[in-house]
Amino acid sequence: MNDSDGTVYLDHAATTPMVPEAIAAMAEQMAITGNASSLHASGRAARRTVEEARELIAERFGARPSEVVFCSGGTEANNLAIKGLYWSRLAQDSARHRIVFSSIEHHALLDPVTWLAKHEGAEVEMTPVDKQGRILVDALRAAVEREPSSVSAVTTMWANNEMGTIQPIADVVEIARAHGIPVHSDAVQAAGYVPLDFAASGLDAMTVTAHKLGGPVGVGALIIRREIDATPLLHGGGQERDLRSGTVSVPLIAAFAKAVDVTIARQAETVERIETLRRRLVEGVVRVVPDAIVNGDPEPGPDHRLPNIAHVTFPGCEGDAMLMLLDAQGIECSTGSACAAGVPQPSHVLLAMGYDDTAARGSLRFSLGHTSTEADVDRLLEALPAVRQRALRASLVRSGS
C-alpha cells in the first residue's frame, strides 16, 4: 500500500517502489561530483563506485564483471541485444537473416524485432505457446533446425510479464547452442523472484533492469558474454566495452547495485511471503467472482511461474473499464492490452495463448511486490464484486443488449 495516500498498489510488475537502501545510495552519490571517465581524483572516485557496483551485480547474477554493460533500462538493453546480435552476425555471414523469438515477448523486444523485419530485411519467426503461455519447445526446435545456418539469434523471455509463466530457457539454449546460435533472454520480470545464474544458464545475453528490483527507473544492464560480438546502437566515447557509449550515471548505478544486493539477499523470504499473498488474492477473486478465470501456470516455483503475478479474465467485461473503476477507489492494477487512438487493443500474449479478442480485452493483471500486504489484497476483494457488476452493465449497454 502507498501509505501517503491510502492507495492500494497492485502493479509491481510495471515498477516497484525503491527500497530505502537504494534511495540512500542514490542520494549519497547525487551529492558528489565526478565523471567516471575523467582521470582526476573525482573521476577516479566515480569510476570506483561504478566498478564496485558492476562487480556486485555480476556476482549476484552469476556473471563476470566485464559482462555487465550498463544501459538506460530494459528497453535499451533488449534493443542492443537483438539489433546488435543481428547486425553483427549478418555482417559476418549474409545468410544469417532470420530471428526466432517467442510470440509472448514484451513490446521492448517485440517492437525492435518487428522494426528489423520492416527496415532491415530480417526474416522473423515467432515461436507459438501453449494455453499457459509457455513456448512449445518442439516448435522452436523445428523453426531453428529447418535452416539453422540462416538464424542470427534466438530470444525468449525468462518469465512473461503478463502471465508470470516461466519459460524453458535451458531447452532453448540447448537447441540453439547445438547450431552455434547466440541466445538472449529478457529476464526483467524474473530478476529478484527466481534464481538467475548467467554463466550456468548458458545464455549469451540477458537483460535486467533496476526498477523491477527496488531500484530507480532509468538504469539497467545487458549482461553479455565477452566472446559475443554485438554492433552498438550508440557511438561516442566508447564507454561500456564500446557497446553503449555515453557518460554513465553514477547515482543510478550505485542505487541499482544496492537494490540488487538487498533484493536478492531477501529473495527466498520475499518469494515465500508474496506467494502466500498471491494465493490469498487468487482464492479470494474466484470466491467473490465465481466465473473469473485465472490464467497462466497454476503451479508455483521457478520452473512454473512467478510468485507475484496473478492474471485474471472477467468474462463479459472490458478490462479497461474495470481498471478505471478500481482506480477510482484507490486500487491500482493493469491490463495487458494496449490502446491505439483511444480504442482498446487485445493483449497479444492472450491472443497467442488462444484467447479470442473479447477475452483478451477483458483481463486484469494484479502484481504484488515487497510493499504488498494482506490489507491490500483484502481491499481489492472487497471492491471487486461491485466493480465487476458495474463493468458488466456498462459492457451490456455498449453492446445494446
Phi, psi of 14, rounded to the nearest 5 degrees: -80, -50
pLDDT of residue 344: 63
Q: Which amino acid is located at 145 in the chain? A: E
| Cα separation, 222 vs 277, whole angstroms | 31
Q: What is the dihedral of CA 86, 13, 337, 124, to 10 degrees?
A: 10
What digits encode the pLDDT tens for the residues 165-196? 999 999 999 999 999 999 999 999 999 999 99
pLDDT of residue 389: 94
Per the annotation, the verdict on 339 as an active-site residue is: yes
Answer for the pair 82, 153: CB distance below 8 angstroms, yes or no: yes
| Cα separation, 293 vs 380, whole angstroms | 16
Q: Which CATH number fits domain 8-17+267-399: 3.10.450.50, 3.90.1150.10, 3.60.140.10, 1.20.140.10?
A: 3.90.1150.10
Q: What is the dihedral of CA 122, 127, 128, 131, to 10 degrees?
A: -130
Q: What is the mean pLDDT of residues 13-32?
A: 97
Nearest to 367 by CA among 320, 392, 335: 335
pLDDT of residue 358: 82
Give the start-to-end residue ranges of the domains of the chain.
8-17+267-399, 20-264
pLDDT of residue 287: 98
Query: From the CB of residue 42, how many other CB atoms can be counted at a distance below 10 Å?
Result: 14
CATH, domain range 20-264: 3.40.640.10
| Residue 116, pLDDT above cutoff 90 | yes
- Rounded to the nearest integer, the mean pLDDT of the chain is 94
Q: What is the mean pLDDT of residues 350-367?
A: 90
Q: Model-level pTM? A: 0.94
| Residue 338, pLDDT above cutoff 60 | no
| Residue 339, pLDDT above cutoff 50 | no
pLDDT confidence bin for 399, thresholds 50/70/90: low
| Cα separation, 185 vs 390, whole angstroms | 40
Answer for the pair 390, 376: CB distance below 8 angstroms, yes or no: no
* Burial class for 362, CB neighbours closer than 10 Å (0-12, 13-18, 19+): buried
Cα first-last separation, the chain = 38
For residue 236 the three cell numbers come to: 561516442
The percentage of the chain sitting over the pLDDT mark of 70, rounded to a whole number, equals 95
pLDDT confidence bin for 396, thresholds 50/70/90: confident
Partnered with residue 343 across adjacent β-strands are: 340
SS (H, E, C) the chain: CECCCCEEECECCCCCCCCHHHHHHHHHHHCCCCCCCCCCHHHHHHHHHHHHHHHHHHHHCCCCHHHEEEECCHHHHHHHHHHHHHHHHHHHCCCCCEEEEECCCCHHHHHHHHHHHHHCCCEEEEECECCCCCECHHHHHHHHHHCHHHEEEEECCCECCCCCEECCHHHHHHHHHCCCCCEEEECCCCECCECCCHHHHCCCEEEEEHHHCCCCCCCEEEEECCCCCCCCCCCCCCCHHHCCCCCCCHHHHHHHHHHHHHHHHCHHHHHHHHHHHHHHHHHHHHHHCCCCEECCCCCCECCCECCCEEEEECCCCCHHHHHHHHHHCCEECECCCEEECCEEECCHHHHHCCCCHHHHHCEEEEECCCCCCHHHHHHHHHHHHHHHHHHHHHHHHHHCC
* Burial class for 351, CB neighbours closer than 10 Å (0-12, 13-18, 19+): middle
What digits encode the pLDDT tens for the residues 226-283? 999 999 999 999 999 999 999 999 999 999 999 999 999 999 999 999 999 999 999 9
Partnered with residue 183 across adjacent β-strands are: 154
Phi, psi of 23, rounded to the nearest 5 degrees: -60, -45
Q: What is the dihedral of CA 264, 269, 274, 280, to 10 degrees?
A: 170
